[in-house]
Structure 1
Amino acid sequence: MSLTSGELARQLGVSHSAILKWAREGLITPEWTTPGGHHRWDADKVRRELRDQRQRDPE
């Protein structure tokens, strides 16, 4: 199931702006983007991308 950016933000417990920032920075990749420029997300894939990013760049 594809989620909107707002739905993804709620599932991850972050702000909508965080999702958009991470997408602009290339940390997460949308499943697809609508003709109007709205992203749709696979939450499991995004969680993997964020986990992989944390493993590459530990704080």
Structure 2
Amino acid sequence: MASNYVSTGEAAKAIGVDRRTLQRWAAEGAVEPALVTNGGHQRWDVEDLKEQLRQKRRSDKGQ
């Protein structure tokens, strides 16, 4: 596993939301983890996650 992947809790902390919020966003398809382990754990690239959120904000403003 790449060293720049972090757990859901660490990714949530990096973007300033609760872990459960990030899990819900992923379940709803609003964001996608960089990797899901064989055990079903989501791993996140924080920079990619931030970019996904920027793009989502842009598309939400356009509606």
Number of residue-to-residue matches in the alignment: 59
- Report which of the two has the higher share of strand: 2
The residue that corresponds to 1:3 in the other structure is: 6
The residue that corresponds to 1:49 in the other structure is: 52
Q: 1:30 aligns with which of 28, 33, 51?
A: 33
* Structure 1 unmatched ranges of 5 or more: none
Rounded to whole Å, the distance in 1 between the matches of 2:14 and 2:52 is 15
**Structure 1 residue identity aligned to 2:14:** Q
The residue that corresponds to 2:18 in the other structure is: 15
**TM-score (ref. length: structure 1):** 0.92
RMSD (Å) for aligned C-alpha atoms:
1.3
Rounded to whole Å, the distance in 2 between the matches of 1:32 and 1:55 is 24
Greater Rg by CA: 2
Instruction: Using the aligned pairs only, state the percent identity.
Output: 36
